[in-house]
């Protein structure tokens, strides 16, 4: 890393102790920006990097709720409104026991650049809670969501901050939170949350968007080598929303999706996974990967090793941060992987990322490859503003167009800075430059 940028990073670590994920996200971006600082030394003078690394606002609050037995529970809620240079804060809410301030800041920081790359007028933010919806009844989830929104609502607005879903927050949770927001404010402000149900302001394709967009991006990378997804062997990690619809789009483009996973193990189905069965188990029954194997005799369950042991052409990490490590990356390379595209946020460890790039694997960082979700959230905001509902076909067409433009932007930027094919550098620089120019235009605010 450039010496001046190293000093910026050291200051970030000192100001934000113990937040390992945030430090990792900041380092990855700063390591790409040396050429930008040489071309634009004024960014150092204006403390542009320090300003982007410091959130505009950090909100932490108590969330009390009662379970079905009447027992009181206390969770912690977060919303980090990181940067609004390009538009209202935009980013999901994550409900998971691993959530703490460092995770929310890493996600919010990534969101700045991801949202910039979409070309849409949205800033970066993220939020959530250490609440675990797994195993809770609908009534318990409703009471938690209502308590959470009772505090969060005062910080939101369609021109201020527009949350969406993330891990642990799907249509059920968005519905409960929107209902409470409407109840408290006495406003049907449908543009204040995205990921809503189709019947009350949601957008078609939003459910599919992150997974679809990841595969579209991977397909564009393959095209640079005269190939496509057609005929490729693919695995996805995870079995949630992103993984399911990444698998669906890959199969639609002619690939054979061999496996998926969850926290209990992974499934390999050499004939190609049964998407209808996977959706039934995960979206309807909220079951485990072992349930799939019980109903699909040709599939096998892996409980040792990982999904990355399966030889494939395309690997799509779609579960959570730092799930693909250096040893697993070496296995993928040895098995002939051609493309790794991140469907989750920062799922590849730094050593794994370097190893994949050094081996000539096409590697797409999450801030570029999984931007389809937030892009379609912004399209939902457009539809809410115009009181409209677009068709599935039209919305998917818009999503595909956005993902192709993000790919072009990353590739062109990498070329212009002398690192052709480096999508990490291309994404970081392209995202940074747009935000930096807006910050510069606004003066010292």
**Pairing assessment for the beta strands 123-129 and 300-302 based on DSSP bridges:** unpaired
| Distance between CA atoms of residues 72 and 54, nearest Å | 35
All domains in the chain, ordered by first residue: 3-189 (3.40.50.10860), 211-369 (3.40.50.720)
133-151: pLDDT as tens digits: 999 999 999 999 999 999 9
Share of the chain above pLDDT 70, in %: 100
Cβ–Cβ < 8 Å for 278, 302: no
What is the average per-residue pLDDT within 125-130? 98
Is the per-residue pLDDT at 303 higher than 90?
Answer: no
Max CA pair span of the chain? 63
Residue 331, pLDDT score: 98
Known binding-site positions: 90, 111, 114, 165, 210, 241, 377
Q: Which residues pair with 76 in a beta bridge?
A: 62
| Distance between CA atoms of residues 328 and 96, nearest Å | 25
Residue 180, pLDDT score: 98
What is the average per-residue pLDDT within 401-430? 97
What is the average per-residue pLDDT within 263-283? 94
Residue 286, pLDDT score: 86
Known binding-site positions for substrate: 90, 111, 114, 165, 377
Closest CA to 318 of 279, 347, 284: 347
Residue 299, pLDDT score: 95
What is the average per-residue pLDDT within 384-395? 96
| End-to-end CA separation in angstroms for the chain | 28
Residue 110, pLDDT score: 97
Residue 279, pLDDT score: 96
171 sits in the region (left: phi over 0; alpha: psi -120 to 50; else beta) called alpha
Catalytic residue ranges:
126
Closest CA to 259 of 241, 249, 276, 271: 271
Q: Outline where 153-264 has alpha helix (H).
A: 171-185, 209-223, 241-252
Is the per-residue pLDDT at 174 higher than 90?
Answer: yes
Is the per-residue pLDDT at 1 higher than 90?
Answer: no
Is the per-residue pLDDT at 63 higher than 90?
Answer: yes
Three-state SS for 369? helix
Known binding-site positions for NAD(+): 210, 241
69-87: pLDDT as tens digits: 999 999 999 999 999 999 9
How many beta carbons lie within 10 A of that of residue 397, not counting itself? 13
3-16: pLDDT as tens digits: 999 999 999 999 99
Residue 348, pLDDT score: 97
Q: pTM here?
A: 0.94
Q: What pLDDT band is residue 2 in, cutting at 50, 70 and 90?
A: confident
The per-residue pLDDT of the chain, averaged, comes to 96
Q: What pLDDT band is residue 208 in, cutting at 50, 70 and 90?
A: very high
Written in H, E and C, the secondary structure of 113-144 is HHHHHHCCCCEEEEEEECCCCCCCCHHHHHHH
334-387: pLDDT as tens digits: 999 999 999 999 999 999 999 999 999 999 999 999 999 999 999 999 999 999
């Amino acid at each position: 890393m450039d010496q001046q940028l190293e000093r910026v990073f050291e200051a970030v670590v000192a100001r934000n102790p113990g937040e390992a994920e945030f430090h990792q996200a900041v380092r990855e971006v700063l390591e790409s920006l040396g050429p930008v600082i040489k071309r634009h030394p004024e960014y150092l003078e204006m403390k542009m990097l320090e300003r982007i690394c410091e959130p505009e606002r950090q909100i932490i609050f108590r969330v009390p709720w009662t379970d079905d037995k009447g027992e009181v529970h206390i969770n912690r809620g977060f919303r980090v409104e990181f940067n609004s240079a390009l538009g209202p804060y935009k980013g999901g809410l994550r409900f998971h026991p691993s959530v703490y301030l460092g995770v929310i800041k890493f996600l919010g920081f990534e969101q700045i650049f991801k949202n910039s790359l979409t070309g849409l007028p949205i800033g970066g933010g993220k939020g959530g809670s250490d609440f675990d919806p797994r195993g809770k009844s609908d009534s318990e989830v409703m009471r938690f969501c209502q308590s959470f929104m009772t505090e969060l609502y005062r910080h939101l607005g369609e021109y201020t901050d527009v949350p969406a879903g993330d891990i642990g927050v799907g249509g059920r949770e968005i519905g409960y939170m929107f209902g409470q927001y409407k109840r408290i404010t006495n406003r049907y402000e449908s543009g204040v949350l995205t990921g809503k149900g189709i019947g009350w302001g949601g957008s078609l394709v939003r459910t599919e968007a992150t997974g679809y967009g990841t595969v579209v991006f991977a397909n564009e990378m393959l095209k640079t080598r005269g190939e496509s997804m057609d005929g490729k062997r693919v695995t996805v990690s995870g079995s949630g929303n992103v993984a399911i619809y990444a698998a669906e789009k890959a199969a639609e483009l002619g690939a054979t999706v061999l496996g998926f996973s969850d926290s209990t193990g992974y499934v390999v189905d050499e004939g190609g996974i049964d998407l209808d069965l996977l959706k039934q188990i995960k979206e309807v029954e909220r079951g485990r990967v072992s349930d799939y194997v019980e109903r699909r005799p040709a599939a096998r369950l892996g409980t040792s090793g990982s999904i990355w042991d399966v030889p494939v052409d395309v690997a799509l990490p779609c579960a959570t941060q730092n799930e693909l490590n250096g040893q697993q990356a070496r296995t993928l390379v040895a098995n002939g992987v051609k493309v790794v595209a991140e469907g989750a946020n920062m799922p590849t460890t730094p050593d794994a990322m370097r190893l994949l790039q050094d081996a000539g694997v096409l590697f797409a960082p999450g801030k570029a490859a999984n931007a389809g979700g937030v892009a379609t959230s912004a399209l939902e905001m457009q539809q809410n503003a115009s009181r409209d509902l677009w068709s599935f076909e039209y919305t998917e067409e818009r999503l595909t167009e956005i993902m192709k433009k993000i790919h072009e932007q990353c590739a062109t930027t990498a070329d212009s800075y002398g690192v052709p094919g480096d999508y990490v550098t291309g994404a970081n620089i392209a995202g940074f430059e747009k935000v930096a120019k807006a910050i510069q235009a606004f003066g010292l605010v």
